[in-house]
Amino acid sequence: MAVTYYQLDKSTTSIPSTGGSTSYVDGFYGVNGTLEYLIAEVDLTLASTVAVTTGIDALVSSMKITINGDLVHDWISGSAPASSSAIAGRYGYFINAIGGRVLTVPMAGDDTALKAFIAIPIGYVLNTPTPRFEMTVGWYDANLVCGASATIASGSVTWWARFNSACERSTRVISASSFAFAGSDIAEQVVVRVPETTMSGPTVLGCLIQNDSEADEYSSTNAIRQLALSQFSQDVDFHRWASNELDNGVVSIAPGSGAAAATLSQSLASKRAGALFVPLYGLKAADLTWIIASSAATTRFFHPVLTAPLQGPRQERPTQTAIARGNVQKTVVDRSEAGTGN
């Protein structure tokens, strides 16, 4: 068994801008092996009046990943972060919930060096002569979380592959289904499409629900019912308890200034308003039916996440004695069942 890292690509142009929202397409070749994660290492050097309020992942507006023509990851943000937002980014919240790892290096709010790592769980056996990656990444205007007068002097996005021959499962993020809710606490039925994929024996790991604003806007009681989970509706906090999100399960940075900047650490929260990940415990892959009541007229976006046993011949790697089992389903279930304080 072996874990190795391979640098796939580095771009100094496909970075966020302070001149508005941007989108970039980068294509590059890789090497064969059992791909566990794709990792974006984002480095930005800021200038002018810097006032960073949260992590870089808050700026991700979309992420589409295609490998050898196979669309494996298609995510969009339901809403841009509010100006000077201090809450966790939507993309980081989502990736951390499904077994990935998104972390921004803690910093003071006026530091000019900003660095983050976005590790996206993929699970893919690359065994073609020249594996091809196509990455389409959208960014919101960096002024939203870096300071209204900040500029970006330079930066880069480096794509890494983490190969792990002990990776056990593949992960697919399905394109979002959207639904416009009438509000007024009316319970409405939503059918979220789960299409056929190239995966063998897929199950549903869970589903991300995003609102089109930085607020939940669910009814105060009987807000959400997932028909495969319960015969009864539950409020949003029940679902955050069930996933163990309430136990400070949301990670981001909260840059401080002055004396507060001396304590540089990750910041924990018990929820991320406007976004909710609901584990579905390996539900059989099929369309998902929800009954949801909203307190206001709003549009929500539903992203199902599929997982399946990893198939295909494994690339031989140098022997290591410690096995790092890559299993997003185990990660998500273990988190939801963890004892309080863990």
The DSSP secondary structure of 279-301, one letter per residue, reads EEEEEESS-EEEEEEBSS-EEEE
- Mean pLDDT of the region 292-305: 97
Lowest-pLDDT range of 45-54, 101-110, 184-193, 316-325: 316-325
Question: Judging by beta carbons within 10 Å of its beta carbon (0-12, 13-18, 19+), is residue 102 exposed, middle or buried?
Answer: buried
Q: Which residue has the tokens 């983490």?
A: 162
Name the DSSP class of 230: -
Whether pLDDT at 95 is above 60 = yes
How far is 192 from 189, CA to CA, in rounded Å? Answer: 10
Helix (H) or strand (E) holding 134: strand 132-139
Question: Judging by beta carbons within 10 Å of its beta carbon (0-12, 13-18, 19+), is residue 87 exposed, middle or buried?
Answer: buried
Q: What are phi and psi of 12, to 5 degrees?
A: -100, 5
Neighbour count for residue 329 (Cβ, 10 Å) = 22
DSSP-based three-state secondary structure for 197: coil
Q: In the structure, what pLDDT confidence band is assigned to residue 231 with cuts at 50, 70 and 90?
A: very high
Neighbour count for residue 186 (Cβ, 10 Å) = 13
Greatest CA separation for the chain? 60
Whether pLDDT at 120 is above 70 = yes
Within 8 A by CB and 6+ apart from 335, the residues are: 243, 244, 249
Neighbour count for residue 319 (Cβ, 10 Å) = 8
pLDDT in tens, 159-204: 999 999 999 999 999 999 999 999 999 999 999 999 988 899 999 9
How far is 174 from 197, CA to CA, in rounded Å? Answer: 9
DSSP-based three-state secondary structure for 143: helix
Integer-rounded Cα Rg, in Å, for the chain is: 20
Name the DSSP class of 274: T
Would the pTM of this model clear 0.95, i.e. be above it?
no
pLDDT value of residue 333? 73
- Six-digit token pair at 31? 């090497």
Cβ distance 150 to 18 under 8 Å? yes
Whether pLDDT at 119 is above 80 = yes
Q: Which residue has the tokens 């604003």?
A: 213
Beta-bridge mates of residue 102:
118
Name the DSSP class of 315: P
pLDDT value of residue 154? 97
Within 8 A by CB and 6+ apart from 28, the residues are: 8, 9, 132, 133, 159
pLDDT value of residue 331? 75
Whether pLDDT at 40 is above 90 = yes
Cβ distance 64 to 27 under 8 Å? no
